[in-house]
Structure 1
């Protein structure tokens, strides 16, 4: 479910609010995505609507991603595979539309920001975290790959942090999200009412670039006035180690360094464990997606990911990963193949061909 409202501003204009609301940590379903696309298209052409605010219902999550259970049922019944195709198509197009939206899009990234939720967050022009924010692209754990444009934007994070996140499914807290460029502003979770009041008082003028600058200045001032009680950064002190571990263009060498880490950093040991439990095919596909994305436009990346996602619906480890993680909950996926060294280049290449 998703709710929309227009919040009146002091100068007679309006702020459009998108409230993500579902029982599964505000995960997106196809009907939700379709409604959001329809609403932002209407707001795009409404001169009285000057900016968009996206947030999640409750305090636990902004959005935990897509409705993976629905995708599992689509994969389990071939006659419904088209529903999985449609979900990925519209989810990716939503992120593409937000990425290019002509009006400021402000994302209140409180709580869990994962998978497709991070896709919406990353596509927003103004990204706010709170003390409870947790960002991750954990797709290798279910046999998918970091999508919704992540083959492009995850690699834009500072250093080689995005590469480590993609290949392990590790998490960023709010302090690390700011440090590595995944967010620009931090506010306490209790300050949401003040955020709305600040946005209502701004002299919006309906000119996208000027309004974006206006919003940036106001959010920076509000962040200074409302210092956020950020957690201690986990990855920032390890930035040099991460850069060294993830250096180079040899996937097996990088994964070997992750797996053979013998240092004292708990986060890196946990990253190794996450990677060891992930789908070898997904790890290889994640790497190849990111490598190819370097030479592609944003639109080309989205199209490449859509082809890859459709193939994941039809073969590979996606069905098995969701079964083990969310359906049977035995957490014992039977990956095929079972080791990264057993993955065949030809099999990875098939994910880039239209099914």
Structure 2
């Protein structure tokens, strides 16, 4: 099974509940899951009886660990349809954009692993709730992709250069980190999830977006919060000054060298830096460039830019090699196309951003 879909009756109106249901893969998004979710949301957007939507993940370990990379690897390795990998990204980004622009309130309840494509869905929701066990990350540098699913949008909105640092290092954020930088709105206890749904069922939802939003906001704020003093210490709070100091400047190679050379005694920091040290040099340039270009872009154009980037990545060797080394052969020794950031030609970076898409040539048909 890929997703579970429920329509839950309230005193008035209905809740649409979508459960990502592939616990064995940490609810990683397959092409079929994306298609099914898109079809449901398209229907619910026009359905008068659906007043709000909730996303959650099945099992105890994850909301969603990202796209199904093994499935993508099969598409990258096949000879039958060279456009299939790009079509996967087009469908995924269309879904994320739909959630961002959905005409009714959408709640995400993130627990466990929330990474890559899972963070794309989570970040697109209007209300983003997390449980204390959550771990968020955009770890694409480890497989030769780039932080996508709208990351050019939401990483740019983090304070300082934390978004750049996350993209370059695949940094894993705990619940305190996530709340600190605004990637989630509030933490709730795991046993509050069912209580929230029960509370929502007791309400009369009018279908009027502003009124329903106000009522929903009040209900969410009334939930029991965990004792924030008992949550894990924020690694970002500990290292924000290091990140700001080492990531300053206008030259990516110098920033990368600064991060790699820093002598900071922290297991969390060393894990981040090792991802950068062993990660794809082309990805580092894509992170740097996409965040700069996206600063003045609309959300629609962000997804169009990321689609162009992803389509180009599917035609270069690094993505396939990164997935092979990390998930297929698991030797963790990828042979990247360039050995260091300084070795990557400008032309290789620039080709990931051409052509520029618009309303007339957009394969995602974003409107």
TM-score of the two chains, using structure 1 as the length reference: 0.96
What is the CA deviation profile of residues 38-79 of structure 1, one whole-angstrom value per residue up to 9, with x for unaligned ones?
101111111111100000101100001111111111111232
| Match in the other structure for 1:16 | 16
Name the SS of the counterpart of 1:55 in structure 2.
strand
Using the alignment, how far apart are the partners of 1:231 and 1:204 within structure 2? 37
Using the alignment, how far apart are the partners of 1:209 and 1:149 within structure 2? 25
Gaps of 5+ in 2: 357-367
Contact 2:12 2:206 in 1 (8 A): no
1:306 corresponds to 2:307: yes
RMSD: 1.5
Name the SS of the counterpart of 1:282 in structure 2.
helix
What is the CA deviation profile of residues 234-271 of structure 1, one whole-angstrom value per residue up to 9, with x for unaligned ones?
21222222222222322112212211111333322222
TM-score of the two chains, using structure 2 as the length reference: 0.93
Runs of 4+ in structure 1 deviating by more than 3 angstroms, as ranges, are 226-229
Matches within 5 A, 1:76-91: 76-91=77-92
> Cα distance, 1:7 vs. partner?
1.1
Matches within 5 A, 1:84-99: 84-99=85-100
Contact 1:30 1:86 in 2 (8 A): no
Gaps of 5+ in 1: none
Contact 1:177 1:183 in 2 (8 A): yes
1:6 corresponds to 2:15: no
Using the alignment, how far apart are the partners of 1:157 and 1:210 within structure 2? 29
Matches within 5 A, 1:1-355: 1-9=2-10, 11-22=11-22, 23-224=24-225, 227=227, 230-354=231-355
Using the alignment, how far apart are the partners of 2:264 and 2:52 within structure 1? 47
Using the alignment, how far apart are the partners of 1:353 and 1:240 within structure 2? 36
Contact 2:12 2:205 in 1 (8 A): no
Using the alignment, how far apart are the partners of 2:221 and 2:247 within structure 1? 33
Contact 1:139 1:169 in 2 (8 A): yes
Relative to structure 2, which stretch is displaced further, 265-274 or 125-134? 265-274
Contact 1:281 1:316 in 2 (8 A): no
Aligned residues: 353
Contact 1:258 1:268 in 2 (8 A): no
Relative to structure 2, which stretch is displaced further, 119-128 or 213-222? 213-222
> Cα distance, 1:316 vs. partner?
3.9
Q: Quickly say closer, same or farther: Cα 1:202–1:244, change in 2 above 3 A.
A: farther
What is the CA deviation profile of residues 80-109 of structure 1, one whole-angstrom value per residue up to 9, with x for unaligned ones?
332212110010010001001111110010
> Cα distance, 1:154 vs. partner?
1.2
> Cα distance, 1:227 vs. partner?
4.4
What is the CA deviation profile of residues 201-239 of structure 1, one whole-angstrom value per residue up to 9, with x for unaligned ones?
234221123222322221122044x54652222212222
Relative to structure 2, which stretch is displaced further, 202-211 or 294-303? 202-211
Name the SS of the counterpart of 1:252 in structure 2.
helix
> Cα distance, 1:181 vs. partner?
0.5
